[in-house]
């Protein structure tokens, strides 16, 4: 019975670790983080548009994954695709960002930001369906309102 208790405690500990590594940014926290990483105006995309994009794609949740109809998967706060930009070691990938997809789920979003810069450099902001559907031609100023950025 001691052994059972031991396993139970380890299980509780693992749950706590898993909960701690899932991060949902607040709107302003993300705005500040993106600004500090040089995303404001990057490739002509305003900070408010980047925040709107992240809201549309992941609701600011770093652990978001979604499967696409072609079998590929989108990862993280910017929903970066594993056919083109990151690799999970299984799905065939061009791995344009030279990054492992799991790094794009970290609560440290610097790898996601670096990859988003690569994507916008090569394809422009219209690469993101969420941006096209929910941010393009809209007043996005609300996304950074009151954030002091």
Ligand X SMILES: *[C@@H]1O[C@H](CO)[C@@H](O)[C@H](O)[C@H]1NC(C)=O
Q: Which two three-digit tokens encode residue 53?
A: 């994009």
Give the C-alpha separation, 104 to 35, whole Å: 18
Q: How far is the CB of 105 from ligand X (least distance, A)?
A: 13
Going by their DSSP bridges, the two strands 73-75 and 80-81 should be labelled as: antiparallel
Which residues are bridge partners to 80 per DSSP?
A: 75
Q: How far is the CB of 114 from ligand X (least distance, A)?
A: 8
Query: Is 21 an interacting residue with respect to ligand X (CB under 6 A)?
Result: no
Cα 130 to chain centroid distance, Å, stands at 12
Q: How far is the CB of 94 from ligand X (least distance, A)?
A: 22
Length of the chain: 149
> By C-beta, is 59 or 108 nearer to ligand X?
108
Query: Is 108 an interacting residue with respect to ligand X (CB under 6 A)?
Result: yes
Q: How far is the CB of 108 from ligand X (least distance, A)?
A: 4
Cβ–Cβ < 8 Å for 60, 54: yes
Phi, psi of 3 (to 5 degrees): -65, -40
Residue 3: how many other CB atoms lie within 10 Å = 7
Which of 26, 66, 110, 122 touches ligand X by CB under 6 A?
A: 110
Query: Is 141 an interacting residue with respect to ligand X (CB under 6 A)?
Result: no
Phi, psi of 59 (to 5 degrees): 55, 35
> By C-beta, is 37 or 56 nearer to ligand X?
37
Contacts with ligand X by CB under 6 A: the residue count is 2
Just list the catalytic residues: 57, 74
Contact footprint for ligand X (CB under 6 A):
108, 110
């Amino acid at each position: 019975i001691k052994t059972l208790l031991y396993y139970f405690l380890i299980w509780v500990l693992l749950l706590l670790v898993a909960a701690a590594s899932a991060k949902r940014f607040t709107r302003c926290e993300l705005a500040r983080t993106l600004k500090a990483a040089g995303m404001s105006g990057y490739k002509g995309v305003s900070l408010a548009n980047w925040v709107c994009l992240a809201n549309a794609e992941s609701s600011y949740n770093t652990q978001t994954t979604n499967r696409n109809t072609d079998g590929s998967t989108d990862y993280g706060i910017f929903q970066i695709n594993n056919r083109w930009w990151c690799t999970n070691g299984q799905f065939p990938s061009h791995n344009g960002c030279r990054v492992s997809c799991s790094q794009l789920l970290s609560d440290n979003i610097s790898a996601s930001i670096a990859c988003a810069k690569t994507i916008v450099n090569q394809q422009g902001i219209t690469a993101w369906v969420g941006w096209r559907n929910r941010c393009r031609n809209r007043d996005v100023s609300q996304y950074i309102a009151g954030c002091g950025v």
